[in-house]
Chains A and B, each alone.
Chain A
Amino acid sequence: MKKHVLLIFLSLFILTIKAQEKGSVLIQKGTVLTITNGVQENADVLIKDGKIQKIGQGLKAPSGTKVIDARGMYVMPGIIDAHSHIALDAINEATSPVTAEVCTGDAVNPLNISIYRALAGGVTASHAMHGSANAVGGQCETIKHRYGTVDPEELKMKGAPRTIKFALGENPTRVHGSGNGILPRTRMGVEEVFRRSFSKAQEYTAAWDAYNSKRNQKGFQGMAPKYDLRLQTLADILKGEIIIHCHSYRADEIYMLMQVCKDFGIKKLVFQHVNEGFKVAPELAEFGAMASVFADWWAYKFEVYYSTAYNATILTKNGVVTSINSDSGELIRHLYHEAAKTQKYGGLSDDKALELITINPAKQLGIDDRVGSLEVGKEGDVAIFKNHPLSIYAIPMYTIVDGVVEFDRENDPADMRIYPDIDEKIDVTIAVADSEYDRCMQDTEFLFEN
Chain B
Amino acid sequence: MGLLLAALLVLSFGVAAKLQPQFIEWRGSRADDDMLKVLLGESSKLFANEFYAKADSYYHSGFYPGIFDNNEAFKTAHMAEDTGAVSSRNHGEEESFMGPPRNWIDAFGRHFLPDRHTHLDQGGPNDDLSTSDEVREILPWLKLSTDLDPQNVQNYTVTAYWLRQRMHKPDAAHEVLLEGLQENPGSCDILFELGRLYAESDHDTNRAVNVWNAAIRNWRPIKGDDDTAIANDFIYEKIATQLGETEINEGHWQAAIEWFEKARQVSRTPDALKQMIDEIRQKIPASTSVPPPTAP
Q: Do A and B bind each other?
A: no
* B contact residues vs A (CB 8 Å cutoff): none
